[in-house]
Amino acid sequence: MKKTLTILSAILISLISISFNAQAQDDKPQAKSYITLQGGTSFPGGNFGKSGYNNNSSGFAKKGVTFGLDGAYYFYKNLGIGITASFQDQGQLNQNDAQSLSDGYTASFQRDQTSVTTMGRYHSYNLMAGPQYSFLIKKFTIDVRASAGVIKSISTPDITVVLDPANVSTLLTMEQKSSSASAFAYGGSAGVRYSLGGAWDIGLRANYINSSGISISNIGHPDNTTGRIVTKQPISELQTTLGITLHW
pLDDT at 23: 45
Nearest to 85 by CA among 33, 149, 40: 149
pLDDT at 27: 60
Residue 33 burial by Cβ neighbours in a 10 Å radius (0-12, 13-18, 19+): middle
| pTM of the predicted structure, to 2 decimals | 0.86
SS3 category, 227:
coil
pLDDT at 170: 75
Full set of structural domains in the chain with CATH: 2-20+37-247 (2.40.160.20)
What beta strand segments (E) does the chain contain? 34-44, 64-76, 79-89, 114-119, 123-137, 140-155, 158-163, 172-176, 182-197, 200-215, 218-219, 232-247
Q: pLDDT tens, 130-142?
A: 999 999 999 999 9
pLDDT at 171: 84
pLDDT at 70: 98
pLDDT at 112: 85
In the chain (248 residues long), the average pLDDT of successive 10-residue segments reads 52 52 60 97 98 96 98 96 98 97 94 93 98 97 98 98 76 95 98 97 98 97 92 98 97
Round the CA-based radius of gyration of the chain to a whole number and report it.
23
